[in-house]
Chains A and B, each alone.
Chain A
Amino acid sequence: MSTKKQKAASAARFLDRALELPVGTVSGGATVILHSDREVIVDGCRGVISCSEEEIKLNIGNRGLVTKGRGLMIKNLTDREITIAGCIASIEFC
């Protein structure tokens, strides 16, 4: 990541903290909603990196999000949001 982008990101994070806004309001991170271990909704997803029944890897901007489990499937996919259904074992940021 270039120095300019890093500066902009740190400034956005500073604003989030200073104005006591929810994290990601200004900095623009992804929102992850987990419904039990059956469904995860990722708002702010920029694309699917890989997809299998055991692991689905997503691009959420500066990091990746890995959902692991069994019988995973992409229930719904739009340009901003993705819904993953199945038996979810873990969610990792990488």
Chain B
Amino acid sequence: MLLIKIIRLILGYVKVNLWGKYPERFLNVCASRGIKVWNTRRQGDRIEFCIFAKDYKKLRQLRLRCPVNIRHKRKYGLPFVAKKYRYRTGLAVGLAIYVVALVMMPKIVWGVNVSGNERISDSELQSALRNIGIYSGAKIEDIDAANMRLRLALLLPDVSWAAVNVDGAFVNVEIREADNRQDTDNTPCNLVANCDGRISAVYVKQGTATVKVGDGVRKGDLLVSGTEQYTSGITKFRHSDGQIIAETERTLTVSVPLNQVRSRCTDKIQTRNVLTVFDYDLPLYIGSVNFDYSLKTEEIPITVGNTKLPLTITQGQFRERVKSNYRLTEKEAETKGLETLKKLEKEEFAEFEILKKEVKTQSQKDKLVLTATYLCKGDIAQKEYIYISG
């Protein structure tokens, strides 16, 4: 009779002590008035019994008919607990959130697990999945696995096969990437110079070379022609391919201000937490950071066993940063400028061989200007497509 006990606890009941003349008669009156009485037992000169909380007030009226005394001994059940905590709204809100979560959570996607991607980045894949409707917080009933896997393959051309499986509250997406496709570009094109230079070697795979070793070319000059004209009058257009190696002169300029600003982190740190529920951020703090700072964030996913919940706490450490001014000497500025030049060389001349380098420094009002002249050797050919109209 566990169920009956649960019902009694939900409705609330009272244990009552009864004493006086003919207490049994009072029990009979209760029973005849439809008041349910249970667990009645004699305790010395008293009778102890239980009734529902809603019936307790009725006992007062019935007591007038019998010469007995009634006193409640103990109260049990939900109504009394609820009354005790009636001013604690947080508990009620928490309970409401719990019930809503209990009802809603099984209908929502908690997380999306992706596997099989090597070239396609996770963020790119997640973005594509979001576009087709697979994301944390989406309704599970809206996920049409068969349709979505086709849409994903259409959206990402590098995906050759995809599977979308709903596993409880999680969606597992497995993909296979297409093999690296060979360059099948056969569009007719010429090769032109992307900078001025002197040709030092010509390697043509397809097309007709229009320059030879030792020629000087300017930017935009034709190097390899994709047009081939036969004696019969027929003109054929080809996709030119090859390498035209040339020595080119290039210049890089770096300007280093002598007045510099240095920022230094102090020991003052403020930590702020943000709770992310699905895609919604809930700040767990009040107020804002009132100083110049450098921010370091750490994401702490909340897990139960191996299951990752759709909750993440992002902890941000705001470290105060103090700026101070200082002036570089010319030598320090030159060292700094040379370091910057080295970085720029790596970026700009990655595909070139540097044959000669000359650096000139020029001191101006509040800055030092470094001008570097390079003699480089490398491929200067650049495709230029032939557009045929009519």
Give min CB distance, A56 to chain B, whole Å: 9
Of the listed stretches A5-13, A29-37, A45-53, A61-69, chain B binds A45-53
Which B residues, 1 to 42, have Cβ-Cβ distances below 8 Å to chain A? 23-25, 27-28, 30-32, 34, 36-42
Whether A74 sits at the interface, judged by CB under 8 Å, is yes
Give min CB distance, B47 to chain A, whole Å: 6
Give min CB distance, A48 to chain B, whole Å: 4
**How extensive is the interface on chain B, given as a class?**
10 to 19
Whether A76 sits at the interface, judged by CB under 8 Å, is yes
Complex alpha-carbon distance, A78 and B25, angstroms: 13
Majority secondary structure, B binding face: mixed
Contacts of B40 in A (CB 8 A): 51, 73-75, 77
Contact among B24, B41, B42 for A49, CB-based, below 8 A: B24
Complex alpha-carbon distance, A50 and B49, angstroms: 15
Complex alpha-carbon distance, A51 and B24, angstroms: 7
Complex alpha-carbon distance, A49 and B202, angstroms: 123
Contacts of A92 in B (CB 8 A): none
- Whether the pair B34, A79 counts as a contact (CB closer than 8 A) is yes
With A78-B31, A79-B31 already in contact, the answer to whether A50 and B24 are too (CB < 8 A) is yes
Contacts of A79 in B (CB 8 A): 31-32, 34
Q: How many chain A residues have a CB neighbour from B under 8 Å? A: 15
Most central of A50, A73, A74, A78 by chain B CB within 10 Å: A74
Complex alpha-carbon distance, A72 and B41, angstroms: 7
- Whether the pair A52, B42 counts as a contact (CB closer than 8 A) is yes
B47 closest partner in A (C-beta): A51
Give min CB distance, A81 to chain B, whole Å: 9
Contact among B24, B28, B38, B41 for A76, CB-based, below 8 A: B38
- Whether the pair A75, B38 counts as a contact (CB closer than 8 A) is yes
With A49-B24, A51-B24 already in contact, the answer to whether A77 and B42 are too (CB < 8 A) is no
- Whether the pair A77, B38 counts as a contact (CB closer than 8 A) is yes
Complex alpha-carbon distance, A75 and B37, angstroms: 8
Complex alpha-carbon distance, A32 and B184, angstroms: 97
Contact among A52, A72, A75, A77 for B27, CB-based, below 8 A: A77
Complex alpha-carbon distance, A76 and B49, angstroms: 10
The 7 nearest A-B residue pairs measured at CB = A74-B40, A73-B41, A47-B28, A77-B37, A48-B24, A52-B42, A79-B31
Contacts A73-B40, A77-B38 aside, 9 further interface pairs with beta carbons under 8 A come to: A47-B25, A47-B31, A52-B42, A73-B39, A75-B39, A77-B27, A77-B37, A79-B31, A79-B34
